[in-house]
């Protein structure tokens, strides 16, 4: 059966201690994720970006796991991993550029908003199909293993993805071939509108690892230290050649599944209110103030600074010119076909005549 994170750490003995000297840094990253999340949700409601996937309630799970990784490790996200991108050092403006889809967007406006990718930070493109990143992460881990690269891959997914074909195929293959992969499930209770209890009768999602010969770990996703230790242990285990680990971080999704969703249609507000009593950002904030690491004034300053940083990034992104309209003919073929060239010329003529506008 699934084991607690603490017992796993004791059994393997390779996990690093939590870096207490960086606790304020981790807290700042959680706050930045929360501030960005709130602003991006507002931007979508105002029609300034087309789509957004909120992460409120999952900050500790993402920040704790992100800090436990090495910069050389590859991240295969779902579409809610804004906190991980921030941990990796992705600039706030680069994220906003992608949401807006301007000419500074590294994906050139080709992706949906909130489907970003950053090669320099080893952050693979998000995609909407459920669970596809799981098998991709295993394949990349096997390639690294063959090259003898001392890295791991980690893939993030929700509770709904544990019912996908890619979840089962990924775990089975990784188990058989001891792929250096970490499977990180953010169990936020809902697969869009489907509650976890209507998806599986398994006592935990982590115990699904038993069927594939892997260790399964259940961790409090609101506890940044517990998440960090679980991921460090899983990473050490993978690098030692002992194969993958499935981690289930139990969290709660405060907001909608996406900006296309209305959670009031399927869940009670009382349940959300009760879950907010365990808000990971507030829990860490209260601890830091209670222990004297921060004061109320210094904490308020952190929030003010990060709100200002996000506001500046939004302003800069919205002032950045739009993508050149003809650019969407690029990157289709290595050598443009005659038909594509004809279409491009026709489109260019329509732009010159003002029939189509950038």
Which single residue is written with the structure tokens 């289930």? 248
pLDDT of residue 333: 87
263, 346: one domain: no
The verdict on 306 and 277 lying in the same domain is yes
Residue 15 has a pLDDT of: 52
So what's the pLDDT on residue 127?
Answer: 84
pLDDT in tens, 312-344: 999 999 999 999 888 888 887 889 999 999 999
| Active centre residues (catalytic) | 253, 257, 266
Residues 235 and 343 occupy one common structural domain = no
Q: Which residue has the higher pLDDT, 110 or 56?
A: 56
pLDDT digits (tens, 9 = 90+) for 239-281: 999 999 999 999 999 999 999 999 999 999 999 999 999 999 9
| Whether residue 94 sits in one domain with residue 235 | yes
Task: Look over the chain and give the mean of its residue pLDDT values, rounded to a whole number.
Answer: 94
Q: Across the beta sheet with 216-220, what order do the strands follow?
A: 3-4, 216-220, 245-250, 181-187, 153-158, 74-76
Q: Output the pLDDT for position 358.
A: 61
127 and 54 within one domain: yes
| Residue 117's CATH number | 3.40.50.970
Nearest one of 244, 242, 37 to 155, comparing CA atoms: 244
Beta strand pairing call for 194-195 and 190-191: antiparallel
In this structure, the answer to whether residues 337 and 304 fall within a common structural domain is no
Q: Is residue 30 over pLDDT 90? A: yes
pLDDT of residue 250: 98
The domain of 338 spans 325-358
Angle at 241 between CA 237 and CA 245, to 5 degrees: 40
Instruction: Give the model's pLDDT for residue 174.
Output: 98
The pLDDT value recorded for residue 334 is: 87
Of the chain, the percentage scoring pLDDT greater than 70 comes to 95
Task: Identify whether residues 349 and 306 lie together within a single domain.
Answer: no
3-state secondary structure labels for all residues of 226-238: HHHHHHHHHHHHH
What domain count does the chain have?
2
Predicted model pTM: 0.92
17 and 61, same domain (yes or no):
yes
User: Does residue 82 sit in the same domain as residue 48?
Assistant: yes
Q: Does residue 203 sit in the same domain as residue 331? A: no
Do 334 and 291 share a domain, yes or no?
Answer: no
In this predicted model, what pLDDT tens digit does every residue of 217-237 receive, in sequence order? 999 999 999 999 999 999 999
User: What tens digit of pLDDT does each residue of 270-309 get?
Assistant: 999 999 999 999 999 999 999 999 999 999 999 999 999 9
User: What pLDDT digit, counting tens, does each position of 113-147 carry?
Assistant: 999 999 999 999 998 899 999 999 999 999 999 99
> How confident is the model at residue 154, as a pLDDT?
98
Same domain, 338 and 236: no
pLDDT class of 4 with cuts at 50, 70, 90: very low
């Amino acid at each position: 059966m699934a084991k607690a994170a603490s017992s796993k750490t004791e059994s393997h003995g390779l996990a690093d201690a939590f870096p207490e000297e960086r606790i304020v840094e981790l807290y700042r990253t959680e706050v930045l994720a929360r501030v960005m999340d709130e602003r991006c949700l507002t931007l979508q409601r105002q029609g300034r970006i087309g789509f957004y996937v909120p992460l409120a309630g999952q900050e500790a799970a993402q920040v704790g796991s992100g800090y436990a990784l090495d910069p050389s490790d590859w991240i295969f996200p779902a579409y809610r991993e804004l906190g991980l991108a921030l941990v990796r050092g992705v600039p706030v403006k680069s994220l906003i550029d992608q949401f807006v889809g301007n000419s500074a967007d590294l994906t050139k406006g080709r992706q949906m908003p909130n489907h970003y990718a950053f090669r320099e930070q080893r952050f693979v493109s998000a995609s909407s199909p459920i669970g596809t990143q799981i098998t991709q992460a295993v394949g990349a881990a096997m390639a690294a293993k063959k090259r003898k690269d001392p890295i791991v891959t980690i893939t993030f997914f929700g509770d709904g993805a544990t019912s996908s074909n890619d979840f089962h195929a990924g775990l089975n293959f990784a188990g058989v071939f001891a792929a250096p992969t970490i499977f990180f499930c953010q169990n936020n209770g809902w697969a869009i509108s489907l509650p976890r209890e209507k998806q599986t009768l398994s006592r935990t999602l982590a115990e699904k690892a038993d069927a594939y010969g892997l260790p399964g770990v259940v961790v409090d996703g609101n506890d940044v230290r517990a998440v960090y230790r679980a991921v460090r242990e899983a990473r050490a285990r993978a690098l030692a050649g002992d194969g993958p680990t499935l981690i289930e971080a139990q969290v709660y999704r405060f907001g909608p599944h996406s900006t296309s969703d209305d959670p009031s249609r399927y869940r009670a507000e009382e349940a959300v209110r009760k879950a907010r009593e365990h808000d990971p950002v507030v829990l860490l904030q209260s601890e830091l103030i209670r222990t004297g690491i921060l004061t109320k004034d210094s904490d308020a300053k952190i929030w003010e600074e990060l709100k200002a940083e996000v506001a500046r990034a939004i302003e800069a992104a919205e002032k950045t010119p739009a993508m050149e309209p003809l650019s969407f003919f690029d990157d289709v073929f290595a050598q443009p076909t005659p038909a594509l060239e004809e279409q491009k010329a026709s489109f260019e003529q329509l732009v010159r005549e003002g029939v189509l506008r950038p």
